[in-house]
């Protein structure tokens, strides 16, 4: 049986969304924990890797996402957000 090739772009997109949701959950539990994680990511991921995470966490938070599984919101829908499965 043939093995499907891995779509690395899709894989990275999904991984990023999971990481954003995890930071959002930490933010709900303990704001400082989320801030420490984002600061550590900035230290470890050079070349702007931490900036994208921080930007997406802030955007999702503003749209009302609090890290529920598969919740990803889009600003295109009048700020009400749109949840999609990811």
The tens-digit pLDDT sequence of the chain (86 residues) is 889 999 999 999 999 999 999 999 999 999 999 999 999 999 998 887 799 999 999 999 999 999 999 999 998 764 554 556 55
| Dist CA 10 CA 4 (whole Å) | 13
Instruction: Please give the model's pTM, rounded to 2 decimal places.
Output: 0.83
pLDDT of residue 47: 80
Contact 65, 27 (CB under 8 A): no
Contact 72, 17 (CB under 8 A): yes
pLDDT of residue 49: 78
Q: Which residues does 54 contact at the CB level (< 8 Å), separation at least 6?
A: 38, 41, 42
The structural domains of the chain, with segments of one domain joined by +, span 8-86
| Dist CA 61 CA 66 (whole Å) | 6
């Amino acid at each position: 049986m043939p093995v499907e090739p891995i779509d690395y772009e899709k894989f990275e997109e999904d991984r990023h969304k999971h990481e954003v949701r995890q930071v959002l959950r930490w933010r709900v539990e303990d704001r400082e924990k989320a801030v420490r994680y984002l600061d550590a990511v900035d230290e470890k991921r050079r070349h702007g890797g931490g900036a994208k995470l921080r930007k997406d966490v802030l955007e999702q938070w503003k749209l009302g996402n609090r890290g529920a599984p598969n919740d990803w919101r889009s600003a295109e829908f009048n700020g009400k957000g749109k949840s999609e499965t990811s």
